[in-house]
Amino acid sequence: MAEIVRSLRLYVLLQRASARGVMRYRMNAVIGILSGALWQGTGFAFIWVVMHTFPSLAGWGLAEIAFLYGLRLTAHALAMIPMISVHDIHWLVRNGEFDRFLLRPLNPLVQLMGNKIGMGQLGDLLVGVTLLAVAARNVPVDWNAWLVAYCVVAVVGGALIEAAFFLGLSALSLRMVDTSTLRVFVDDVFSRFGSYPMRVFGGVTEWLLTFVLPVAFVAYVPAGVVLGKLDNPWAPAGPLLGVVLIALAYLIWRRQLDHYQSVGH
């Protein structure tokens, strides 16, 4: 526990230092945030247009789809804010820059995560939270403290699921050098399919997105539970799965790190 607290404190300090560096060029920071917000806003605008042509998708109305989209986007942003620096790992390994993280008496992963702050991901978070808050007021849900707490836990669980896949695939770059194409593909699957009810896809695709690549557990399952479209026994699935997967991803990271060889060897 002491090591976890120490790592979190180190991460916060590194992110604060990165933020100070970014804020020296405030216009660039604003443009980065707005770019992320505009990109995600465009994605939801497409759904809005579709929903005006088809008022219901697999029994979900516009407000319910908006709630699902906001839940997924918020989880995605929380996953990628600490993980965006890990995206550059293949470049760091290839150029021998990763070695400097190993020379310091600090957790290499925490150093890597705190190496850069993602302004675009802050834009994602802004849109996600806003959309989630607006949609929550328009869905037919009798809100109470338990449901609000469950949504918070579900967002964290969804973030852990996405972060786990990103970390696990990134860790392979320590030995395979470049897995960025595979990471982009998996991220694209989460983004493209995670914003819709799984029943839209049906059959084999729905099964694959639930039990092979667990996209459904990021937002669809928790949103379905809150909106009364899925049975309550599914409620803890996302958060618990997130904890298990992030632990496995970290084990993969440690395993790959033990076999890492500098480009100079």
Residue 265 lies in a domain: no
pLDDT of residue 78: 92
Q: What is the pLDDT of residues 99-127, one digit of tens each?
A: 888 887 788 888 888 877 777 788 888 88
pLDDT of residue 263: 67
Residue 118 lies in a domain: yes
Residue 214 lies in a domain: yes
- Report the distance separating Cα 187 and Cα 200, nearest Å: 20
Residue 159 lies in a domain: yes
- Among positive and negative, which fits the CA dihedral 145, 147, 148, 153? positive
Q: What is the pLDDT of residues 28-84, one digit of tens each?
A: 767 767 777 777 777 777 777 777 777 777 789 889 999 999 999 999 999 998 888
Single out the residue of 144, 191, 166 nearest to residue 46, CA to CA: 191
Residue 215 lies in a domain: yes
Residue 186 scores a pLDDT above 80 = yes
Total domain count for the chain?
1
Contacts of 143 (CB under 8 A, 6+ apart): 136
Q: What is the pLDDT of residues 134-170, one digit of tens each?
A: 999 999 999 999 999 999 999 999 999 999 999 999 9
β partners of residue 57: 60
Residue 48 lies in a domain: yes
pLDDT band at 259 (very low <50, low <70, confident <90, very high): confident
pLDDT band at 132 (very low <50, low <70, confident <90, very high): very high
pLDDT of residue 83: 87
Residue 263 lies in a domain: no
pLDDT band at 264 (very low <50, low <70, confident <90, very high): low
Full domain range(s) for residue 216? 2-258
pLDDT of residue 77: 92
Single out the residue of 14, 3, 21, 246 nearest to residue 114, CA to CA: 14
Residue 229 lies in a domain: yes
Q: What is the pLDDT of residues 237-249, one digit of tens each?
A: 888 999 999 999 9
